[in-house]
Amino acid sequence: DAGITQSPRHKVTETGTPVTLRCHQTENHRYMYWYRQDPGHGLRLIHYSYGVKDTDKGEVSDGYSVSRSKTEDFLLTLESATSSQTSVYFCAISPRDRKKAYNEQFFGPGTRLTVL
């Protein structure tokens, strides 16, 4: 998994509670991404980061926030979880090589989140 870990791997929570998912990488990659994957929708980008404290929104960012205070960690927060946020969440990274930055994305193992 290109040195990417995600925690927790599974989580069940209740509607209205805050949830934070963590993505950790060991290879000093600049670009990091958070996706969600749902049946019928495929992978959709939530937020991405192009450096420490540099983040931007993806196509489904409502209800999510992110932070990146260190190169190796990219956090995804659901401020007040809803049942529609039940999904599998994947973190991805892109290598520093500018020619390859947007071609190659390496994905983490995923976090299965259930919001009751």
Question: Number of H helices and number of E strands within the chain?
Answer: 0, 11
Pick 15 or 91: Cβ nearer another protein: 91
Among 13, 72, 106, 114, binds another protein (CB under 8 A): 106
Among the residue ranges 17-25, 60-68, 70-78, 98-106, the one whose residues contact another protein (CB under 8 A): 98-106
Q: Report the alpha-carbon angle 23-28-32, nearest 5.
A: 45
Among the residue ranges 14-22, 68-76, 79-87, 96-104, the one whose residues contact another protein (CB under 8 A): 96-104
Q: Which of residues 12-51 bind another protein (CB under 8 A)?
A: 40-45, 48
Residue 103 interacts with another protein (CB under 8 A): yes or no: yes
- Burial string for 61-96 (b: 16+ CB within 10 Å, else e) reads beebebebeeebebbbebeebeeebbbebbbbbbbe
Q: Report in angstroms how near the CB of residue 80 gets to another protein at its nearest.
A: 26
> How far is the C-alpha of 71 from the C-alpha of 32, rounded, in Å?
9
Residue 3 interacts with another protein (CB under 8 A): yes or no: no
Q: Report the alpha-carbon angle 10-73-58, nearest 5.
A: 80
Which positions lie near another protein, rule CB under 8 A? 1, 40-45, 48, 58-59, 90, 92, 101-110
